[in-house]
Amino acid sequence: MQSQIIDPAKTDLNHHHTAEETASHHEEHPDHRIFGLILFLVAEGMIFMGMFGAYLAFRALLPVWPPAGTPELELLLPSVNTTLLISSSFVMHNADTAIKKNDVSGMRTWLGITAAMGIIFLCGQLYEYSNLEFGLTTNLFASSFYVLTGFHGLHVFIGVTAILAVLWRSRTSGHYSNEKHFGVEAAEIYWHFVDVVWIILFGLLYIL
Amino acid sequence: MNIPSSIWTLLIGIALTLVSLWYGQNNHLLPTAATDEAVLVDGLFNAMMTVSVGIFLLVEGILIYCAFKYRRRPGDNSDGPPVFGNVPLEALWTLIPAIIVIGISVYSFDVYNEMGGFNPHDVHEPPVAQKPMKMPGSAIAATLSDTPPSTAPNLNQQKSEEARLDPATASVRNDDQIPQQRNAPGVGVVAPTIGSSPDKQGKPPGLAVNVTAMQFAWIFTYPDTGVVSSELHVPVGREVMVNMTANDVIHAFWVPEFRLKQDAIPGMQSEIRFTPRIMGTYPLICAELCGPYHGAMNTKVIVETPEAYNQWIQEQQVASIEELNQAVAVKPADLSPTEFLAPYTSNLGIQPEILKQIHTNHH
Amino acid sequence: MTQAQLQETANQPALIEEPGVRNWRDYFTFNTDHKVIGIQYLVTTFVFYCIGGVLADLVRTELKTPEVDFVSREVYNSLFTLHGTIMIFLWVVPAGVGFGNYLIPLMIGARDMAFPRLNALAFWIIPPAGLLLIASLLVDAPDAGWTSYPPLSLTTGQIGQSAWIFCLLLLGTSSILGALNFMVTILKMRTPGMTVHQMPLFCWSMFATSALVLLTTPVLAGVLILLAFDLLAGTMFFNPTGGGNPVVYQHMFWFYSHPAVYIMILPFFGAISDIISVHSRKPLFGYKAVAYSSLAISFLGTIVWAHHMFTSGTPGWLRMFFMITTMIISVPTGIKIFSWLATLWGGKLRLNSALLFAMSFVGMFVIGGITGVMVAAVPFDIHVHDTYFIVAHIHYVLFGGSVLGIYAAIYHWFPKMTGRMLNEFWGKVHCALTFVGLNLTFMPMHALGMMGMNRRISEYDPKFESLNFLCTMGSYLLAVSTFPFIINAIWSWMYGPKAGNNPWDALTLEWMTTSPPAIENFDELPVLATGPYDYGMSNRNTEVDVPLADEREPVLAAGPSSVLRAEPDPNVAANPEDRK
C-alpha cells in the first residue's frame, strides 16, 4: 500500500499539480515509455547478436559445417512460415493505423489477425521440431538450431501474448483511442523487432 | 634565494628523468631471462617501467604538492581562481600520452615480431590434420591426426592413467563428468601463437616436444625418440617447438623464466617456439585455473648441455622399456589383462581389442 | 497517512526541519521513490561488500602460508569464485547504480526517475539473486572462478554452477533495467533550462556507463544461456568433446566483462570530478574534455575485450589489434587524471574525508592505469597473464579506483542523503587505514606475479612466503579499516550534527533542495542560476535576483539560461562567458 501512496502519479496532491505544470512530468508520458521500450529492444537485440556471433564463430571454426551427418533442412515449411511472419508485420501496422484514426473495432480485427498469424507460426515451428531428424544434443548445428529458433519462438510467444493482452484491454471502450494507444504501439514495435530477428535468423540457419 | 619557477621545473624534470631511467633499468623485478625471447620481453618491460615511474612520480608528486601548498588556510572561505580550462595544455596532455602509447605499441609490435608472433601459419589454415603429430595420451588430440589409432604400446596413456588414479587427486576429479576419455572429434584448430622468430623462419625447429596437459599433470612426449616424461628436458641453445593440447579442461603452460605462456585447450592444438639460453632448472606452472589441485600442477623444465640432454634421453628410453615390461609383469597372474584393467577401462573408452593388441605385442 | 502529510509539507520548501526523513520501514518496501531505492541499493551492496570482504580475508588467510592448511582446496576455489562474483556483480556495479539512482534525478532537477516502478523492480531483483549465490555456498558452491571458463565450469558441481549462472542472469537483467532508466531519465527529464553541457559530470559518466550496460550485458546473458544449455541439457557449445569451442565462450564473456570494468569505474570518474571541484573550490578543469572522454572510454571499451585472451590462442593480428585499442584507452583516461590534477592545482583544498578519498583515488587509480598499459603490451602480458600481477592490477583499478571512489562519494553525499554530517576525525582515520591497508595488500602482488606466482592457487612456492604474509596482513588491516566507517555512518545517521541544505557550498542542483530531499525533490522546476562548477565566480555569494521560471510564459518557461531566450540573463547565465 505504501508504494501506492508514494507513487507520484496517484496522489491527489499531484493531480492538483499537473493542472498547472508542463505536461512532461506527471501525465503519462508515452514518449518516454516508447523510448524506454526501444532501448530495451536494443538490449534484447544484443542478446541475439551475441548468439548469432557465437553461431558464426562455430561455423567459421569447424572445418566441416554443418557437422558431418546433419540432415538437410526442409525449406518449404520454414519459407511459408517466414512469409507468414513478415506479412503479419504489415497486418499489425494496419492495426496501428486504425487506432490512430480512432477506429477501435478495425484495430481489434487487425490485431486478431496478427495474433492468429503468430500462433500459426508457432504451430509451424512446433511441427517442424517434431519432424526433424536431429535432437537438441545431436551436434553443434542441431544445438544452435534449437536454441536460436527456440529463443526466438519464446519472443514470438511473448509478442502474441502482448497482442492478446491489448485485445483483452480494448474491450473497455475508451481504453485505446487516437490520443492514447501506448499498448498498441508498444506491441507493434515489439512485433516488428521479432520479425526482423527472424529474418536474420532464417538467413543464418537455413540459407547461409 | 629566489630561484625562478622555470628553473625549479627544469631541475625537477631532470631529477624525474634520472630517477625513472635508473629504476627502469635496475628494478630486478623479473626472474632470470632464460630464453632469447625473455631478453626481448625484459627490454620492453624496462622501457615501460621507465615511462611508468616517470608518470607515477609526476602524478603522486603533484597530488602531494597540492595537498600541502594549496590546502585551505584556517579562516579562508574564499574560492580558488575560476579557471575553466586551457586548450593548449589539454591538447598537450592528450598528445603526449598518445605518443607514448603509440611508441610502446610499436615497440611491443616489434618485440612480438622478433619473438615469432607473426608466423605465416598464423591464420586458420588447418595444417593440423596433416601434421605428423600424435599425442596418444589425449583422446581428443589423437583425433587431430589422420593416422589411424596407434596400436603401439602406449606409455603416454599409461602415465596418464597413473596420474589419474593417484589417490591424491582421484577423489576430486569428477571422472564421470570430464569429457576427456570419451572418444570425441576434435575441433582441429591450430593456434600457433609464438612461432619461429624471423631469422629461423621456414627452418624446422631444433627439437619438437608434444605436451599434454591434464588434471593435474603435464606429460611430455618427444616424438623423435618416443620418450615420455613428466619433466621437460631441453638442450641449451637449440630452438624448441612445443605443441600442446589438453585432455580435459583448459590449462596453461607457463615458465616464468622463459616469459612464455600459452593456454593448452582441449580440442585445439597450440604451439610455441623458444630458444633456451641459460642452463638451469625452472618451474613449469599451470597458469589457468583447472580445478582444486591447480596450485599443485607444477613440474620442472631442465635446460642442460646437449650432452646431458642426450644422456637423459637414452636413460629414458631404457627406463621406459623396463617400466613397460614391469607394468605388464606386475599384473596378477590369475587375471587376463583385459579383466584386470576392466574397471579402469570401462569408462575410458578403451576397447578391449586394443588391450589385447598391447598384450600380444609384448608376449 | 504520514506519507501523505510529508508530501504536502514537502511542497513548502525549508519550512520543516527534516522534510524528507523516511520511516525506516520504507526501506524494506517496494518503494518507488528514487531516493529510497538509491539508499536501498547502497546499503544492500555494502552488506554484500562486507560478505565479499570476509571471503577475501579467508582467501588471504589460506595464502598466509605456502601450504594448504586453512581450508580445503575445493573450498578455497569456491571462496575466490564467490569473492570475485560478489565484489563485481553485487557490490561495485550496483553501488554505482545506487548513486545514480539517488543523485541523477536530483542533479538534473527531475522529480523521480523515468520509470519508478521498473526502478524498484530492478532493485528488488538483487537481494534474492545475491542470497541465491551465497546460499549455494552451503550446498555446492561454484568453484570455477568468476570467469567460469568451460570446460572446467561444466565439470565441477552442477548445482553450484547453475546457481551462479541464474544469479548472474538475474543481476544482468536488473542492471539492464537500471541502465535503461538512466538513459531515458538523463536524455528526457532534465529540467528545461539544462543542456547536456550543463549537466554535472556524474550524469555524463552514468550516461556512458548505461550505454555500455545496454550494449554489452545482453551478450553476457546470451553466453550464459548457452552455458546453461551445456551444463543442464548436454549440448556441446563450449564442450570440445562435441565439437564445441571453449574459446568462443571466452570471447563472448569478455565482450561483457571487459566493459564491466568501465561500468564499475566510470560512475566514480564522474563522482570524483564533482567532488574534487567542490572541495578544491575551483571549476572543473576542462569540463568538455572530461565529459567526452567518458564517452570515448565507453566506446573504446567495447573493442578491447580480447586483451584478456592473449594466451588463448588468438591469432597474431588479432592480438595486435586489441593491444593497440587497449593502449588508446589510456589517452581519454589520462585526460581525466590530468584534468583532476589541474583542478586541484591552485585551489583552496578543503582536505576533508571526501577530498582525501578522492585524492587517494587519483593516486591509486593511476597505478592501476599504468599497469593497465603494461599488460596491454602483448609480449609482457604473455608473461604476467593469470598471475598476481593481474590480481594487483585489477585491485588497484577496482579497489584503489572504484571502492575509494565509492567512499569519497559516500563522504560527500552522506549529508544530502541523511541530513546529517559524518564525523570528520573518524573519516580521516578510515581514509588513512584504507590507504595503508590497500597498498600493503596489493603492492607486493605486482612483484609476486612477475616473479612467478600464478593466481587462483591455494599453495605456492615457499620463496613467496614473506611477500604473501605482507599481503595477508594488509588485507586484515583493510578489514579493520571498515569498522570506523560502519560505526561512524550508523552513529552519524542517528545522532550526527545537522547538515543543512548545502554544507559544502556546492553549486549542483542536488544541493539546492532540503537535506534529505523531500519526496518529489523540488517544489517547482529548479532554475539554473549557475553552471555546475562555477566556483570562484565573483557574484556567486551575492544575492542575485533570479527570475523565476514561469511555465505559462513560453520565454520564461525554461528559466534564465534557457535556450529559448534570445539573450541569456547576464546576471545568472549558466555559461560564464555570457555573464556581465
Single pTM value for the model: 0.85
Comparing CA positions, the residue from C379, C547, B196, C520 lying closest to residue A11 is C520
Residues of chain C neighbouring B290 (CB-CB closer than 8 A): 152
* Cα separation, C170 vs C222, whole angstroms: 13
| CB–CB contact A61 B126 (8 Å) | no
Written as nine digits, the cell of B163 is: 596420474
Q: Number of CB pairs < 8 Å for A and B?
A: 8
How far CA C216 is from CA of C209, C252, C255, C299, C301, in Å, comes to 11, 9, 7, 11, 10
pLDDT > 70: percent of chain B: 64
Contact between B295 and C341 using a beta-carbon 8 Å cutoff: no
Residue B341: pLDDT above 90? no
Q: Which chains are within 8 Å of A by 3+ CB pairs?
A: B, C
- C-alpha torsion sign, points B330, B333, B337, B343: negative
- Cβ proximity of C267 and C200 under 8 Å: no
| Cβ contact C345–B62 (<8 Å) | yes
Confidence of residue A73 (pLDDT cuts 50, 70, 90): confident
User: In what side-by-side order are the strands of the sheet with B232-235?
Assistant: B232-235, B298-304, B280-286, B251-255, B260-264
Mutation target vs C (from A31, A33, A47; most C CBs, 10 A cutoff):
A47
- The DSSP-derived string for B168-226 is HHHTTS-TTT-GGGS------EEEEEE---GGGTTSPPSEEEEEEEETTEEEEEETTTT
Q: How confident is the model at residue C568 (pLDDT cuts 50, 70, 90)?
A: low
The confidence band for B173, taking pLDDT boundaries of 50, 70 and 90, is very low
Instruction: List the CATH code of the domain at A29-207.
Output: 1.20.120.80
Residue C169 sits at the chain A interface (C-beta within 8 Å) = no
Contacting chains of C (3 CB pairs or more, <8 Å) are A, B
Residues of chain A with C-beta less than 8 angstroms from the C-beta of B188: 63
Q: Is C513 left (phi over 0), alpha (psi -120 to 50) or beta?
A: beta
Binary contact (C366, B55; C-beta < 8 A): yes
Higher local confidence (pLDDT), B126 or C530: C530
Would you place residue B269 in the very low, low, confident or very high pLDDT band (cuts 50, 70, 90)? confident
pLDDT in tens, A180-202: 888 899 999 999 999 999 999 99
C-alpha grid cell, residue B199:
631469422
Choice among B196-210, C286-300, C412-426, C479-493 with the minimum mean pLDDT: B196-210
Q: What is the dihedral of CA C536, C542, C548, C549, to 10 degrees?
A: 0
CA distance, residue C236 to nearest chain A CA (Å): 6
Res C39 pLDDT > 50: yes
Domain ranges of chain C: 32-495
**Helix (H/G/I), strand (E/B), else coil: B276:** strand
Minimal C-alpha gap between B338 and chain C (Å): 26
Name the band, by pLDDT with cuts 50, 70 and 90, for residue B304: very high
Q: Is C28 on the interface with A (CB under 8 A)?
A: no
pLDDT, tens digit, 9 for 90 and up, residues B182-211: 333 334 455 556 666 767 666 677 788 888
pLDDT of residue B354: 46
Q: Looking at CA atoms only, how far is residue C163 from chain A in angstroms?
A: 20
Q: Which residue in this structure is represented by grid cell 632464460? A: B34
pLDDT at position B52: 93
Q: Residue A60: its chain B contacts at CB < 8 A?
A: 124
Name residues whose C-beta falls within 8 Å of residue C576's C-beta, 6 or more positions apart in sequence: B82, B84, C531, C534, C537
Contact C244/A at CB under 8 A: yes
For all residues of chain C together, what is the average pLDDT? 86
Q: Is there a cis peptide before residue B149, judged by omega within 30 degrees of 0?
A: no
Cβ–Cβ < 8 Å for C206, C104: yes
Could you say which DSSP state residue C232 is in? I
How wide is the angle at C-alpha C352 spanned by C-alphas C351 and C354, nearest 5°?
Answer: 115
Per DSSP, the three-state class of C401 is helix
pLDDT band at C518 (very low <50, low <70, confident <90, very high): confident
> Which chain B residue has its CA at the smallest distance from C388's CA?
B287
**Phi and psi, residue C39, nearest 5°:** -70, -35
Identity of the amino acid at C95? A
Interface mutation vs chain A, best among B189, B268, B269, most A CBs within 10 Å: B189
Please check whether residue C195 touches A, CB under 8 A.
no
- The answer to whether the CB atoms of B45 and C240 lie below 8 A apart is no
B146 to chain A nearest CA, in Å? 14
CB contact under 8 A, C251 and A11: no
Chain B positions in Cβ-Cβ contact with residue C331 (cut-off 8 Å): 94, 97-98, 101
C499 within 8 A of C515, measured Cβ to Cβ: yes
What CATH code would you report for C32-495? 1.20.210.10
- Lowest mean pLDDT, pick from B48-62, B159-173, C254-268, C552-566: C552-566
Q: Is C346 exposed, middle or buried (0-12, 13-18, 19+ CB in 10 A)?
A: middle
Three-class DSSP category at A100:
helix
Provide, as residue numbers in chain A, all residues whose Cβ is less than 8 Å from the Cβ of B124.
60-61
Beta-ladder partners of B194: B272
Residue B62's pLDDT is what?
94
Lowest mean pLDDT among B140-154, C414-428, C445-459, C461-475: B140-154
Residues of B in contact with C339 (CB under 8 A): 90
The whole-number pLDDT of residue B55 equals 93
User: Is pLDDT above 70 for B175?
Assistant: no
Contact between A32 and C115 using a beta-carbon 8 Å cutoff: yes
Q: Which three cell numbers stand for residue C22?
A: 523516511
- Binned at pLDDT 50, 70 and 90, residue C151 comes out as confident
* Helix/strand/coil for B260: strand
**CB-CB under 8 Å, B79 with C245:** no
Interface contact B126-A63, CB threshold 8 A: yes
Cell 612520480 belongs to B57
Q: Which residues of A fall within a CB distance of 8 Å from B189? A: 61
Q: Which three cell numbers stand for residue B164?
A: 589419474
Is the confidence metric ipTM above 0.90 for this complex? no
Predicted confidence band at C66 (pLDDT cuts at 50, 70, 90)?
A: very high
Chain B interface includes A64 (CB < 8 A): no
Whether C278 and C349 have beta carbons less than 8 Å apart is answered as: no
A88 has pLDDT over 90: yes
Confidence of residue B158 (pLDDT cuts 50, 70, 90): low
Measure the CA–CA gap between C161 and C293, rounded to whole angstroms: 38
Pairing of strands B217-222, B227-229: antiparallel
B187 interaction partners in chain A (CB closer than 8 Å): 61-62
Asked whether residue B73 carries a pLDDT value surpassing 60, the answer given is yes
For chain B, list the contacting chains (3+ Cβ pairs, <8 Å). Answer: A, C
Domains of chain B in start order, with CATH, are: 12-68+88-115 (no CATH), 122-330 (2.60.40.420)
CB pairs under 8 A between B and C: 310
B260 has which bridge partners? B255
Residue ranges of the domains in chain A?
29-207
Q: Give the residue from chain A lying closest to B267, CA to CA.
A: A62
User: Which three cell numbers, joined as nine digits, stand for A171?
Assistant: 474491450
Q: Does A137 touch chain B (CB under 8 A)?
A: no
Pairwise CB contact (< 8 Å): A47 & C222: yes
pLDDT surpassing 80 at residue C280: yes
